[in-house]
Amino acid sequence: MKSIFGPVPSRRLGRSLGIDVIPAKTCSFDCIYCESGPTTCLSVTRKNFIDCSEVLEELGAFTRKNPNGADCFTFSSAGEPTLYDPMGELISAIKKAYPQIPLIVLTNGSLLWKPEVRQGLLKADRVVPSIDAVTAAVFHKINRPHPSLEIGRIIEGIRAFRKEYKGQLHIEALFARGINDGPEELSAMAAVIASIAPDRVELNTVVRPPAHEGTRGLTGEEMTRVAGFFSSLHVEIIGTFQSQGQTGTDRDLEQRIVETVERRPCTVAELAASLGVSVARVEQESERLGKQGKVSRVSFGGKSYISGPEHA
């Protein structure tokens, strides 16, 4: 399977089968908090990275093998899904084949000012664009966008999409300590998001190791303070929080990798597929675990495996 992963258990979505049509770290942003590492291809050029037919074949193979295996399909990747040029065609084909399974698109929203991108998303059941900042200075600090992108134009694109789209529009806002959590930016964000009138606002923070080392998350108490700015909206705090001053680490993922490879050596791709995270995340985590002596790398039959420490 090249383009589907999981299903990933999700508190809100049930078992979410991931659809990934973008090469890792091909993105229009290079967010300081990205859990998939720094963007290696900063681009706004939409391309056909994989044939729609291949994605549909993989979905077909999964659903034949697991007839009730997914509660929803989610476009999500270590890059920006709307950079996939035939997105509209693929969404239409998936909804035609699986009308009963909700289809969700997670996007950074950066290309919604393009009418063809908005048009392509109309048949999705839920679209979740991000707004982490509304002023140019903070936008550049947190999202480090492609030079051609302007925050005002992006917000207008999301606003236009709200008017055209009949499905559920959720907006996700992620907060990093000292970057976009000041009262002025929060007030401005709340006003802009309220004017868009999304069905829900999801507030998040840095809970996994970020692309930019110094990036910090907010505590639960600080997130409650942030939520107060959005009190006129249907708001939900998502994610779990670290105590003040800690860097983001994912103890759960660490444990799941160690437990999995202790029983059976796995390639990075196998771990990413079975744990429902990106290949980049597994690479990053297993390198860290390797330095701590908790896992090792072994080669066999021309392939590289992550293995338990006893194989070192």
Q: For the chain, how many residues are written?
A: 312
List, as one string, the DSSP characters of 237-269: E-S--PPTTPPP--HHHHHHHHHHHHHS-B-HH
79 vs 76: CA distance, rounded Å: 8
180 in contact with ligand SF4 (CB under 6 A): no
The site string for ligand SF4 over 91-120 (x = CB under 6 A, - otherwise) reads: -----------------x------------
26 binds ligand SF4 (CB under 6 A): no
Q: Kindly indicate which of the ranges 31-39, 111-119, 197-205, 290-298 contains the residues binding ligand SF4, using the contact rule CB under 6 A.
A: 31-39
> Quick count: other Cβ atoms within 10 Å of Cβ 65?
8
Q: Is 39 in the site for ligand SF4 (CB under 6 A)?
A: yes
* Nearer residue to ligand SF4 within complex by CB, 30 or 202: 30
Q: Which is nearer to ligand SF4, 31 or 103 (CB)?
A: 31
Instruction: Note whether 36 binds ligand SF4 by CB under 6 A.
Output: yes
Structure tokens at 297: 């790398």
Q: How far is CA 233 from CA 27, 130, 227, in A?
A: 29, 16, 10
Our finding on whether 34 is near ligand SF4 (CB under 6 A) is yes
**Widest pairwise Cα distance in the chain:** 59
Q: Which of residues 52-91 bind ligand SF4 (CB under 6 A)?
A: 78-80
Least spacing, CB of residue 42 vs ligand SF4, in Å: 9
What tokens were used for 241? Answer: 């929080």
Token pair recorded at residue 263: 């029983």
Cβ distance 150 to 140 under 8 Å? no
Question: Judged by CB under 6 A, does residue 29 bind ligand SF4?
Answer: yes
Which residue number, 60 or 214, has a Cβ lying nearer to ligand SF4? 214
Q: How far is the CB of 29 from ligand SF4 (least distance, A)?
A: 4
Q: Pick the binder of ligand SF4 from 4, 17, 27, 131 (CB under 6 A).
A: 27
C-alpha span between 264 and 86 (Å, rounded): 38
**Residues binding ligand SF4 (CB under 6 A):** 27, 29-31, 34, 36, 39, 78-80, 108
